[in-house]
Amino acid sequence: MDAGVSYNQMVVDQTDDARLDRLFQAFADATRRDILARVITGEYSVSGLAAHYAMSFAAVQKHVAVMERASLVTKEKRGREQIVRPDLEGVQKARRLLEEYELIWRQRVDRIADILAEEKE
Amino acid sequence: MTFISSHQDPEALSLTFVAEFDASVERVWQVWEDPRQLERWWGPPTYPATFQRHEFVPGGSASYYMTSPEGEKFHGWWKITAIDAPRRLEYDDGFADENGVPDDKMGATHSVMTLETVEGRTRMTTVTVFESAEQLQQMLEMGMEEGVREGMGQIDALLAEPARA
């Protein structure tokens, strides 16, 4: 029995790999994290966002496009404006990965406690 | 209880993890400093870690591998960026090829570990910041096996155990 393979499939659905890569690339940039924080708490158009950054409208538009591909935000046309909205499912996906990582640390500190307890027995 | 609290920040890709131990700050520092103790807890029992090098000084590096149940070896590295013994350790870590050479495309994680005395116990806080999904996933593949196999209920049971005297 190949426990390693079945295990890998359990942890992260392989079909999600490409999506996860896009997600983490989107998170890796400070401007994009800031954009996400803004659109979660308020309503912004692309041009409304652009007013907050020392970069061109086109550059902000590019950041939003990266986030859109990563399923972190969606765009909605309203008149001549494009409203940027958060995709909360994408944000939750990142949280789920971090939760799995947290389990590693839960197990590690338990093993440390076991080591420390040995001397007291 | 060993586990105290944790905080995930998906926007910054970081995890803050707080635990407390019934031991002195100096004693908890040793489980990081001594490679023979470190390898007993860094990897899960199913993927035990072997540290071949562990230079526990600023600018020092460590290299280790974890062995899968099938005997496959996964190599990793640490780079110690700052040490203030026995209270603060900063290090980067990541995966390496079979010769222990860091795999740059996988990215590194940046961690800060601090120890402090709180009401006679030692509080350990680790803050880990991730760079890439790929690295996080590989870490999960190696580190999660135990948890997946035993189930979440088992972990809750472990955490519910009374503090060791």
Lowest mean pLDDT among B8-22, B107-121, B123-137, B142-156: B142-156
Question: pLDDT under 70 in chain A at which residues?
Answer: 1-25, 27-28, 90-95, 120-121
Calpha distance A12→A81 (Å, rounded): 37
Chain B residues close to A8, C-beta within 8 Å: 141
Chain B residues close to A71, C-beta within 8 Å: none
Q: Which of residues 47-106 of B touch A (CB under 8 A)?
A: 68-70, 72
**pLDDT tens sequence across A104-117:** 888 899 999 999 99
pLDDT of residue A8: 35
Cis omega (within 30 of 0) on the bond before B86?
A: yes
pLDDT of residue B43: 83
Calpha distance B80→B111 (Å, rounded): 10
- For residues B132 and B106, the answer to whether their CB atoms sit within 8 Å is yes
Q: Does A103 touch chain B (CB under 8 A)?
A: yes
| Pairwise pLDDT comparison (B157 vs A34), residue with the higher score | A34
pLDDT of residue B48: 86
Asked whether residue B38 carries a pLDDT value surpassing 60, the answer given is yes
pLDDT of residue B159: 35
- For residues B125 and B18, the answer to whether their CB atoms sit within 8 Å is yes
- For residues A20 and B133, the answer to whether their CB atoms sit within 8 Å is yes
**Closest CA–CA distance from residue A79 to any residue of chain B (Å):** 30
B132 closest CA partner among B112, B105, B93, B97: B105
* Chain mean pLDDT for chain A: 76
Q: Which of residues 45-84 of A touch B (CB under 8 A)?
A: none
Lowest mean pLDDT among A90-94, A102-106, B18-22, B74-78: A90-94
* Chain mean pLDDT for chain B: 79
Encoded amino acid at A88, one letter = L
Report the predicted TM-score, pTM, of the whole model to 2 decimal places.
0.62
Per-range mean pLDDT, top range of A17-26, A91-100, B55-64, B66-75: B55-64
Over range B55-59, report the average pLDDT. Answer: 95
| Pairwise pLDDT comparison (A89 vs B119), residue with the higher score | B119
Using CB atoms, pick whichever of B3, B136, B149 lies closest to residue A106. Answer: B3
Asked whether residue B146 carries a pLDDT value surpassing 60, the answer given is no
Residue A80 token pair: 């001549």
Residue A84 token pair: 């940027």
Chain B residues close to A99, C-beta within 8 Å: 8
SS3 B23: coil
Asked whether residue B62 carries a pLDDT value surpassing 70, the answer given is yes
Residue B41 to residue A97, Cβ atoms within 8 A:
no
pLDDT of residue B140: 66
Q: Is the predicted ipTM greater than 0.85, yes or no?
A: no
Residue B8 token pair: 């995930």
Chain A residues close to B144, C-beta within 8 Å: 7, 11, 100, 103-104
Residue B133 to residue A95, Cβ atoms within 8 A:
no
Chain B residues close to A108, C-beta within 8 Å: 41-42
Q: Does B19 touch chain A (CB under 8 A)?
A: yes
Over range B88-112, report the average pLDDT. Answer: 84
- For residues B144 and A97, the answer to whether their CB atoms sit within 8 Å is no
Decide: residue B95, CB within 10 A, 0-12 exposed, 13-18 middle, 19+ buried. buried
Residue B147 to residue A103, Cβ atoms within 8 A:
yes
pLDDT band, residue B13 (cuts 50/70/90): confident
- For residues B8 and A102, the answer to whether their CB atoms sit within 8 Å is yes
Residue A97 to residue B137, Cβ atoms within 8 A:
yes
Residue A11 to residue B148, Cβ atoms within 8 A:
yes
**Closest CA–CA distance from residue A8 to any residue of chain B (Å):** 6
pLDDT of residue A105: 85
pLDDT of residue A83: 95
- Strands in A1-121 per DSSP E: 44-45, 73-78, 81-86
Q: Which of residues 121-140 of B touch A (CB under 8 A)?
A: 124, 126, 128, 130-134, 136-137, 139-140
How many other β-carbons are positioned within 10 Å of the β-carbon of residue B21?
23
